[in-house]
Structure 1
Amino acid sequence: MRILHLSDTHLYGDPAARHYDRIDTTAALRGLLARFDAVTVLDAIVHTGDASEDGTPESYRLLHEILEPFAAEKGATLAVVMGNHDVSATYGETIALGARGTTVQDRVVEVPGGGRIVVLDSSVPGAGYGHLEPEQLTWLAEVLAEPAGGGPAGGDRSNGGTVLAIHHPPLVGATKLLRGLDLDGLDELAGVLEGTDVRIVLSGHYHHEMTGAIAGIPVHVVPGITNVVDPVTAGDHEQSRAQSGASLVELVQGAPRVVTSVFPNAGDTREDAEAPVYDFGPEQVTAIVEAAGR
């Protein structure tokens, strides 16, 4: 499989709305996709959550109005994951979906050629952190008991294998804010994934590139489209830049191959593009974690 990995578009139903009073998120998404016009062959496009900022039906229709023609042009299957800013029920009522699992957003998306994308909804209504219910883990175990393409059990990858797509990365966050809003239950999830045909886990949420592993399976976190977080040089502040990023993921023999590009944000409405989109001090970070954390 060759996958274009996108995340965190934060679209609005109101075309005049701006993210942090600055970023035109629709223009940011369109501008980023234009950068990938030269990519002529894709098997799948995976959007790993926070598709919407306001959770409105209009924002989800806009997402699909933009992504579906792009996916069709590339011959790609489209899979969209729910994030903490999304409203899963609204998305499910607005967009016609295929077979669903235990929640409106737990489902299997088949990719021509034998691979598949398993979508998990890690969002918690009204919160920023991620959580998977026991019923979701049971459903995931049942799905993964048979490898993609219906091959023998035991992690067969000959038919392209499985991609797990989940908004909250199964990795400990790199900053105080992100650690307060990360995914819980990593040991339980690892127990389900071990020995399966999952080739890679794709996530968003952190708004910056990050790699790691769970149960020996690579995890890739893609930069955000609406902004890109600086997890290293911002010190005790939480800071993001007016940039947009995306990744190409190729499932080949051996380890997956991932390449990431980051561009100036096409939706930036501020003349001083070098100024942070936001710069939260320690007190603001604490307040956000208290309001949206566990």
Structure 2
Amino acid sequence: MERETTFIHLTDLHIGRPGHDDPHLFSDTTATLETILGMIATIEPRPSFVVASGDLTNRGDAESFQALKSVMARLDLPVVYALGNHDTREGFYRGFLDRAEDLDAPYFHDQVIDGVHLITLDSSIPGQIGGAIEPEQFAWLERVLETHADLPKLIVSHHPPEIGDEGEFAPWRSIRGEDTAKLAALIKGRNVVGILSGHIHYDRVTVWHGVPVVIGMGQHAATDILVKDVLRMVNGVSFAIGTVRDSGLTVSFVPLPSDRAELNRYPLDMLRKLNEGMAAAAE
């Protein structure tokens, strides 16, 4: 009989700091997360784990991570966390892990849950919107991909790999091109059944070098993909239910009701300049 392992994919939770008025937080993300956790509790078969693929908070401060920790405490399942560009490593370590040392270190890790090898990368680069994979992570990834060779592998990364020429026109949307190429070379022939990501705020699946890259809309707001000249954000929330089988990966998206009302607009040139300015400041 074919083995099946069910999991939940959350992303872009954008939990805010309690009692803090944040003009860049467009919905009640805490209430949304609580609703989704209630839905997860009804799913059969019971999921083996939850993946939360970055932008866990909206501001990255320790208080927001403490709030996230409090909400997630009601979930009686293992949770695999990744960091996104809205998060900060220090805020996560202090507020979520109660850690007080090595606060600048990237957060990458792997574990086996119910027959699935989960490999989590930290694609966040402090001070930047777009993503990258640091050399130490690539060295670690090369080693860890050699382990558990008989098990299907899921890679978790907040930023997805660069697809086509999107990096040339929107460098903030993905892992930078040179790191995307390195990642593609490393995972070739390594039993990677999928990559779970977020960041761009709409549901998308791309078969990339034979591997499904699954991006979730997330729990904050949605990108209106029908509008190309600006980044138009509208009401929209979803999460995903995934199943890993011997034959591969299945993902079903669960959208919550939405009127798709406009929340904000970002000029593309502003985002490009902001990303370039952040990158220059980080050098």
Shorter-chain TM-score range = 0.7 to 0.9
Q: Quote the residue 1:183 is aligned against.
A: 175
Q: Quote the residue 2:38 is aligned against.
A: 34
Q: Distance in 2 between matches of 1:289 and 1:89?
A: 21
Q: Mark the CA change 1:286 to 1:139 in structure 2 (over 3 Å): closer, same or farther.
A: closer
Q: Quote the residue 1:275 is aligned against.
A: 261
SS at match of 1:256: strand
Q: Distance in 2 between matches of 1:262 and 1:120?
A: 26
Q: Quote the residue 2:73 is aligned against.
A: 68
Q: What is the TM-score normalised by the length of structure 1?
A: 0.82
Q: Summarize deviations over 1:255-274 as a string: whole Å, max 9, x none.
A: 31110022136xxxxxxx54
Are 1:7 and 1:48, in contact at CA under 8 Å, matched by a contact in 2?
yes
Query: How many corresponding residue pairs?
Result: 269
Q: Quote the residue 1:106 is aligned against.
A: 108
Q: Mark the CA change 1:213 to 1:92 in structure 2 (over 3 Å): closer, same or farther.
A: farther
The Cα of 1:286 is off from its aligned counterpart by 4.0
SS at match of 2:85: coil
SS at match of 1:278: strand
Q: Mark the CA change 1:178 to 1:17 in structure 2 (over 3 Å): closer, same or farther.
A: farther
Q: Quote the residue 2:188 is aligned against.
A: 194
Q: What is the TM-score normalised by the length of structure 2?
A: 0.85
Are 1:240 and 1:278, in contact at CA under 8 Å, matched by a contact in 2?
yes
Q: Summarize deviations over 1:232-284 as a string: whole Å, max 9, x none.
A: x112121121111111110013231110022136xxxxxxx543111223443
SS at match of 1:251: strand
Q: Mark the CA change 1:284 to 1:140 in structure 2 (over 3 Å): closer, same or farther.
A: same
The Cα of 1:138 is off from its aligned counterpart by 0.9
Is 1:257 equivalent to 2:250 in the alignment? Answer: yes
Are 1:180 and 1:293, in contact at CA under 8 Å, matched by a contact in 2?
no
Are 1:203 and 1:222, in contact at CA under 8 Å, matched by a contact in 2?
yes
SS at match of 1:138: helix
Q: Summarize deviations over 1:163-188 as a string: whole Å, max 9, x none.
A: 11000001328698754332011110
Alignment of structure 1 residues 2-17 onto 2, 5 Å: 2-17=6-21
Are 2:236 and 2:260, in contact at CA under 8 Å, matched by a contact in 1?
no
Calculate the aligned-residue CA RMSD, in Å.
Answer: 2.7
Is 1:207 equivalent to 2:196 in the alignment? Answer: no
**Gaps (5+ residues) in structure 1?**
148-152, 266-272
Q: Summarize deviations over 1:20-58 as a string: whole Å, max 9, x none.
A: 364222122223333434214011100000001111112
Q: Summarize deviations over 1:84-126 as a string: whole Å, max 9, x none.
A: 111113212333399x9x9441111331x33231111010101
Q: Mark the CA change 1:221 to 1:97 in structure 2 (over 3 Å): closer, same or farther.
A: farther
2:230 partner letter? H
**Gaps (5+ residues) in structure 2?**
none
Q: Quote the residue 1:94 is aligned against.
A: 95
Q: Distance in 2 between matches of 1:45 and 1:227?
A: 20
Q: Summarize deviations over 1:134-189 as a string: whole Å, max 9, x none.
A: 21111011011112xxxxx4xx34xxx22110000013286987543320111101
Q: Quote the residue 2:216 is aligned against.
A: 222
Q: Distance in 2 between matches of 1:177 and 1:23?
A: 28
Q: Mark the CA change 1:178 to 1:208 in structure 2 (over 3 Å): closer, same or farther.
A: farther
Equivalent residue for 2:159, pick from 157, 168, 172: 168
Is 1:47 equivalent to 2:40 in the alignment? Answer: no
